[in-house]
Chains A and B, each alone.
Chain A
Amino acid sequence: MTAATLFGLCGAALVGFGLYGLVTNPEPLRKILAFNLLGSGVFLVFGVVSRRAAASGLGGDPVPQAMVITAIVVAFAATAMAIALVLRLLQETGRSTLSADNPGGTDTDRGNS
C-alpha cells in the first residue's frame, strides 16, 4: 500500500464519518464538528490528488497547497460563523436545535385551510 492510497483511504473515511454526522445528527454543534471532519477529509484528498498531478512535473506543486490553505481559511471562517449563530440562538431561546422544520408556523393553522 502506497502512502497515497493510505492517505486517500483516510480521507475517504473522514469524509464518510463527517457526512454521516452532518446528515443524521440533530445537534447543530455536532453538525458543525461533523462538517469540520468532512472538511479535513477533503483537504487530505486534495493534497493526495494534487501530489499525483505534480509528480509529472516539478517536485512539489505550490498551487494546490495555496488552494488547501485558502480552503482551510474558508472552513475556519464558516465554523466561526456557525458557532456564533449557535451561541446567539442559545442566548435567544435557551436551546440550540434546528427542529423547526415548518417555516413561519404554517402548520398551526393547517386544519382550516
Chain B
Amino acid sequence: MIGETTLLASAFVVPLGMLLACLWPPALNRMPSLLAFAPIPALLAVLLVASDSSLAIGSARFRLTFALDRPGAMLLGVAALLWIASGAYASQYLQGRPNRGRFVVCWLMTLTGCLGVFLAADMVGFYFLLALLTLGACGLVIYHETPSAWRAGAVYIGLALLAESLLLMAFVLLAAQIPGDSLLIRDAAAALPTSPQRDLILALLMAGFGMKAGLVPFHFWMPLAYSAAPTPASAVLSGAVVKASILGMIRFLPLETALPDWGTALAAAGLFAALYGVVIGITQRNPRVVLAYSSVSQMGFIVAVIGMGMLAGDGRAALAAAFYAAHHVLVKGALFLSVGVIAATGSRRLWPMLLPAAIIAVGLGGLPLTGGALAKFVADELLGDGPASTIATLSSVGTTLLMLQFLRSLAKSASQDPQATAAAGLVWPWLATAVVSLVVPWTLYLTVPSGTLPDPLSPAVLWKALWPVLLGAVLAIALWRWWRSLPRIPKGDIIVALDGGMQIAVTWGKALGQMDRFLRQWPAAGVSLLMVTIALGAAVFAR
C-alpha cells in the first residue's frame, strides 16, 4: 500500500530531511526546539504500518530495502518514544549553551541512523545507518570538549569503527553465500547455517556486535562515553542507540537453528558481562558511571538471552530479547534523564524527584509489577532451569544492588542549593519517560502474542521476582557498611591496559617512520627500484 510505504519512508526521511535542512543557517537556529518532532513519523509508522510491508529503492541488481519486522517494530516504537522525550529534554537543555548547531547536527545524525537501523532490511543500508549513527554519536560524546570527552570520543569511535570493519567483512562474506544478488538480511541469516564459512562469519558477527553492545572485554567505552556525553545524549545513547547491536544479533544470527557451541559461547560471554558490570559498577561513585556499568550488565543479559536461544535453536529468543531490550531502552533513558534533573534539584524538593527514579531503578532489578519484572519473566522462559537461570537470578540480585548504589550516588549528586528546582522542560520529559517505561512493557506484553506463557501475576511468579530484590537490598546495606574498604577502580577499568598498548604502537609507528625516511633517500630508492624489478621479473617468470 502506498500510504504504508510512505509512512515507513517518512520514519527516517523526516529526520534525514531535518538533518539536511541544518545546512541552511536559519533552519539550524530553529532546530533545537524541533528535536522532539523528528521521531514522531517513526512512532506513527510503528503504530499504523502492518508488519510485513516493505520499501525498496534502487535497481534490480542493487537495492536498499526497508521493512518492519516484529522485533524491529518493538524496538523502533520504544526508541521513538525515548527520542521524543529526550528531544524535548534536549530543547530545554540546549538553552543558553554554546555549539547548539553542532549538537543538533550530531543529534539528528544519530537519530536518523538509530531509527533507520531498526528499519533496514538489507546489509548495505544497515551498515550505512550504523556508520551514520556512529559518527553522530561520537559527535555527541565529545560535545563538551573537555579532555576526558575527547578521550571518550576517540575510544568510542575507534572501537565502533573496528566493530564496523568486522561487521563489513561479515556482511561481504554473507553476501557471497546468498544465492543471487539479494542483500537482504533475512536471506543472509537463512543462508548462514549451511554456509561453509559459517564459523568465521559467526565469529565476526559476534565480535562486531559484541563490541557495539559493550560485552566484556569491549565494555570500556561505555563508562567513558556515557559519563562524558551531555545528559540527553547519554539517555539516547545508552537507551536506544546501543540496541542497534541487539537488533543486529537478532536479525543476523540464525536463532531458529540450534548451534550449541556458538550459543554457549555467546550466552557465557553475556552472563559474564552481566555479573562483571555489577561487580565493577558497585565501586563507582559517579551516578552516570554506575548507570554505564549497569548498561554493561543489562546488555550482557540480553546477549545471554540471545545466546540461550541459539543454544536451543529457539526462535522465540528474538522476541524475548527484543522485549527485554525495549524495556531497557525506556528505563535506562529515564534514569539518565533523572541524573540531569536531580543535579538541578535542591534538597528541599529532592524526594518527589527521587521517588520515581527509585521505582524504575529497582524495577530494572525485577521489582514485581514493574516492566522490569515482566521483562525478566519473559526472558526466564528461555533461560530454563540450568546454571543460566541461577546466573540470571544472581544478576537480578546484583542489578538491585547496583541500582541502590546508583540511587545513593544520585541523591548525593543533588544541587548544593536547597531551593534549586529543575526547569519544567527537563522534569516533564523525564517523568513521561518514567511512566512510559512502566506502562509500555505491559502494553507490549498484552498486544504482542509471545507464545503460551504462565500468568505473570500468579503469587509464585511474584515471589520469584521479589526475593532477589530483597536480597539485593540487604546486600546494599552491607555494601555501604564496608564502603570505605572497597577498591577504587577507575572508570573504564581495563582501559589502563589499552594505554600500555598505545605506547607500544607509538614505538612501532616511529620505527616505520624511520624506515620510511630511509627508503625515501635516492640511493635507497634506486636500490628498491632494482629489487622490485628483479622481484617482479622473477614472479612473472616463475610460472
Contact = CB atoms under 8 A, between A and B. Distances in A.
A and B touch in the complex (CB under 8 A): yes
Contacts of A101: 517, 520-522
A102 B517 contact: yes
Chain A interface category by residue count: under 10
Contacts of B520: 101
Highest count of chain A CB atoms <10 Å: which of B522, B526, B527, B530: B522
A26 interface: yes
A24 interface: yes
A63 interface: no
Contacts of A107: 517
Contacts of B522: 23, 26, 98, 101
A113 to B, nearest CB: 8
Interface string B499-527: 00000000000000000010011110011
A22 interface: yes
A101 B520 CA distance: 7
A23 to B, nearest CB: 3
Interface in A75-101: 98, 101
Contacts, number: 17
Contact of A24 (B517, B523, B529): B523
Interface in A25-47: 26
Nearest to B506: A113
Contacts of A23: 522-523, 526-527, 529-530
Nearest to B514: A110
Nearest to B525: A23
Contacts of B521: 101
Contacts of B526: 22-24
A55 to B, nearest CB: 27
Contacts of B527: 23
B298 to A, nearest CB: 42
B524 to A, nearest CB: 9
B38 to A, nearest CB: 43
A17 to B, nearest CB: 14
Interface string A4-23: 00000000000000000011
A107 B514 CA distance: 10
Contacts of A26: 522
A98 to B, nearest CB: 6
Nearest to A24: B523
A63 to B, nearest CB: 26
Contacts of B529: 23
A23 B521 CA distance: 10
Which of the listed residues A22, A26, A101, A107 has the most CB atoms from chain B within 10 Å of its own CB?
A: A101
Nearest to B513: A110
A1 B99 CA distance: 83
Nearest to B521: A101
A93 B309 CA distance: 75
A98 B526 CA distance: 14
B534 to A, nearest CB: 13
Nearest to B510: A113
A98 B522 CA distance: 9
Contacts of A98: 522
Interface of B: 517, 520-523, 526-527, 529-530
Given A23-B522, A24-B523, 15 more contacts: A22-B526, A23-B523, A23-B526, A23-B527, A23-B529, A23-B530, A24-B526, A26-B522, A98-B522, A101-B517, A101-B520, A101-B521, A101-B522, A102-B517, A107-B517
Interface of A: 22-24, 26, 98, 101-102, 107
Q: What are the 10 A-B residue pairs with the smallest beta carbon separation, nearest first?
A: A23-B526, A101-B521, A101-B520, A24-B523, A23-B523, A98-B522, A102-B517, A101-B517, A22-B526, A23-B527
